[in-house]
Amino acid sequence: MKTLTVGIVQQTCGARRDENLAKSIEGIRNASARGARLVVLQELHAGIYFCQCEDTAHFDMAEPIPGPASELLAGVAKECGVVLVASLFERRAAGLYHNTAVVFEKDGSIAGKYRKMHIPDDPAFYEKFYFTPGDLGFTPIATSVGRLGVLICWDQWYPEAARLMALAGADVLIYPTAIGWDPADDDGEKSRQQDAWTTVQRAHAIANGIPVVSVNRVGYEPDPSGIGRGIAFWGGSFAAGPQGEFLALAGNDGEEVLVVEIDVARSEQVRRIWPFLRDRRIDSYSDLVKRYRD
């Protein structure tokens, strides 16, 4: 496979689950009609970003996989003939929940899952209350369009996660995401945060010589508890090539469906001139498994 046409669905989310899923499905069909063979949805696209507060009632939003949402999305993947990356709140057992990306094959079967490994616990992002850290490791999911190195949101800040996916043969890194600003942030802080977010992921593309696809939600969402100021999700979904170059970039203010052709074969050429994997000093990296070098 030399090129891969990817659909990116950036959407707003509200309290109505059926409306959120309808938007996702509309985006999948839109991207498919424009030639996409792989479609990527944003993090937790079926609902609001409930992690702004800690409330046990929100566990009712979780469901097993397979379950109603995954079966619905499987049917759409089959209808459109696309490989689909969806992001769901997984109920594994009572009291055991994960933030899980599901990859559907173009025939609607489940090609694989990835459970979010790095779980944040920051103001307005209280994910440790809800999500058990993943236990499936950093393993690319084999599909008919290539080996997908699927990671989720907070994972995108960790070069170790991207590297391990690349070392396992990922053809592309994929990041379903939910990140935004505190409405109280000034314009300078907003710019610095988004620039850092974009830069670190483009750096993963460069350091590993493979493309990156990052899909973020967009729009203001109030804190469900009414206590916090809410989050203004900044959108900015993008695809970057193996030298970090932008291939597609969405805006900050609204819903968009981007379709971009990625030259997957170019990774081979880039790695030949920038052979970072060849020159790694694996004999000297043992301290990376320490929390800190005191």
Catalytic residue among 43, 90, 105, 221: 43
116 noted as active-site residue: yes
Catalytic residue among 90, 106, 153, 221: 153
51 noted as active-site residue: no
Distance CA 278, CA 114 (A): 28
Catalytic residue among 23, 51, 116, 127: 116
43 noted as active-site residue: yes
Q: Which residues contact 6 (CB under 8 A, 6 or more apart)?
A: 36, 37, 38, 39, 40, 213, 239, 259, 260, 261, 262
What does the chain look like in DSSP terms, one character per residue? --EEEEEEEE----S-HHHHHHHHHHHHHHHHHTT-SEEEEPTTTTS--GGGS--GGGGGG-B-SSSHHHHHHHHHHHHHT-EEEEEEEEEEETTEEEEEEEEE-TTS-EEEEEE-----EETTEEGGGT-PPP-S-S-PEEETTEEEEE--GGGGG-HHHHHHHHHTT-SEEEEEE--EE-TT--HHHHHHHHHHHHHHHHHHHHHHTS-EEEEE-EEEE--TTSSS--EEEE---EEE-TTS-EEEE--SSS-EEEEEEEETTHHHHHHHHS-TTTT--GGG-GGGGSS---
Catalytic residues: 43, 116, 153
